[in-house]
Every structure is written in structure tokens, then in C-alpha cells.
Amino acid sequence: MSQFEILREAVTMVFSSISGSDQIDNIARPVFSLFTETTFIGEIEPHAHNKAQFLYVISGVLTVEAVGGIWTIPPQCGLWIPGGVLHAGRISGHINIGNLYIDPTLTTQLPKNCGIIFVAPLLRELLLRFDRSSVFQMQDKAREARLLSVLLDELAAAPLEPIHLPMPTDRRLRRLTEAMINSPQLRFTVNEWGVRVGASSRTLSRLFKRETGLSFMRWRQQLHIGLALQRLATGASVTTIAGDLGYESTSAFIAMFRRLLGTTPARYFDTASIADDTGSSDLENRHIAPSTQDAAKSTVISLKEKRIS
């Protein structure tokens, strides 16, 4: 077995691949967490398990495809994945992640759909307490039950960030959005797209709002945010990313990024990593444009056939 295959096997176990799914579901504990830190570039095959999963990104960026879309999860946030939901992942470089698994009998009061949750300090410490590989093993069942109750309360109380970029059903919009995903550098206006897909700009604008809940410009910006986070995680320069996404200048890209996420691309991962040392993150204090519904914490791109590479 090659070094790459060994690394993939290790990552998929923690990420819970198809083969790992049986192991995850066969672990007797109703709640436990697994942590790993690795450098890996590649995709994890689609899989599902009965246990619900909370995938916590400590550092780096992870992209997960599940029912409803593709989530790009920034540091200090996690993706809630209900039990039985088919999901796959893409890692683009160095990443430090934690996985919390919960028996489905304990998740009746937890969200029924995937969504992003910001990991506050208390929730983070609870995730660490249930680390299966930790030297700390709770022998006091009554104490474990109390901590479990607090953990479930924290997950239930945390609001899911519903931001997503749904793929429309209208054939004209499907052609448009798929073309934008395949070629994100295209800077055509709504009028120019209308000529290409056979619809007026007014019709496209109306359809965009009706079928996605977003304006054409907002949809494109949030697509770019998700792609930018993936590229930043691999170490790509801001200038290169701006050019690849079709911006006329790096400053224009930075302005868009700051407007949506409240900080510059160059500082994004630095400020998010502050939580590693202080127990709190600048993500909690950044000003996020209200219309994005906290785009810093989630960019979801609904795709049925094509995964962003």
C-alpha cells in the first residue's frame, strides 16, 4: 500500500468512509468524538452511517457534499449531518478536524437537516471531553450523563446557518448557474447571460429571486466566497484567486470578501485561528453583511451532478 493510500485510509476512517461507517456504528458508546490533524488533498467517497455526525473544523477548510448542497466549512465552525444522510468530502491541504458521533436515539430534538453551527468555547470543550482517544475517560456514568445533557442542549440551542446556493429547476437558470460553477471567472451581466440562455434580464432576475431566494449578484458572490475559501486553504495567493475568479483587480475581490465575511482574505484564517489560543474567535465579532445571513459560516452550493474541484 502506497503512502498516499495509507493516508487516505486514515483520513477516511476519521471522516467515516464507507468502510469506516460500519466501525463507527459498531462502537458501543452512544456519544464519542475523534480528532485528527493531517495534510491531504483529495476527495472522500460518499458514505452514510446511522449515527449523526458533527464535523468540527478547528483549522483549515473542509468541503462537504450532502443532501441539499455543498458546504464549505471555515475554521471554528462545524457541519451538522443527521444520521443516515449520504455525504462526501474534499480536503484541500492541511486540516485539523474533530468528529462527534451521536446515537440516533439521542437526536430527536436536534436538526433534521444539514447545517453550519459556530463552535462556541463551551461546545468545543464538550467535544474534547467526549474524545474517544483521550487519556480522559469518564468512569462516572452519572457525570457523563450530565455532560451529555449539556452537549445536546448546546447543539439544540445553536442556530443553524441556512445560507445556501440552491440550484434552480428552471432550465435557463440551470444552464446559467452550471456555467458559472464550471467557469467562475466569467463576468457576464444578467443582460449578457439572458442573450445566451434565451431570456430577458427581467425574467432572469425574477426567476433567480423566486427559485433561489437570492439575487443574481449575491448568488455569484457567495459562489466566489466558497471557492475562495477552498483556494486560500491550499495556500493560493489572494492575487491569484482574484484573477482566477475574474475580478478586474485584487482590491475589488478583497472588498467583496470583506463585505461578506467582515475581514480580508489574508487575515481570514489568522483571525479564525485565534480561538486555538484564547478560547474565542474573531468570527464571533466580525461584522457580517446581514443579507448574507452569516455567509462567514457557510457557503452551500446545491449540485446534483457536479462537484467543485
Q: In this predicted structure, what is the pLDDT of residue 21? A: 61
Q: In this predicted structure, what is the pLDDT of residue 10? A: 47
Please, are residues 92 and 63 in contact by the beta-carbon 8 Å criterion?
A: yes
d(CA 122, CA 124) in angstroms, rounded, equals: 5
Q: In this predicted structure, what is the pLDDT of residue 169? A: 81
d(CA 235, CA 245) in angstroms, rounded, equals: 16
Residue type, 153: D
Q: In this predicted structure, what is the pLDDT of residue 134? A: 60
Q: In this predicted structure, what is the pLDDT of residue 267? A: 86
d(CA 183, CA 63) in angstroms, rounded, equals: 19
Place of cell 474573531: 282
Q: In this predicted structure, what is the pLDDT of residue 42? A: 82
Residues 6+ apart with CB under 8 A from 172: 197, 198, 199, 204, 207
d(CA 238, CA 280) in angstroms, rounded, equals: 26
List average pLDDT for each run of 10 residues in the chain, which is 309 residues long. 47 47 80 89 88 92 79 85 92 88 95 87 92 65 90 88 68 90 92 92 93 89 86 87 96 93 82 48 42 38 35
Q: In this predicted structure, what is the pLDDT of residue 153? A: 95
Q: In this predicted structure, what is the pLDDT of residue 133? A: 67
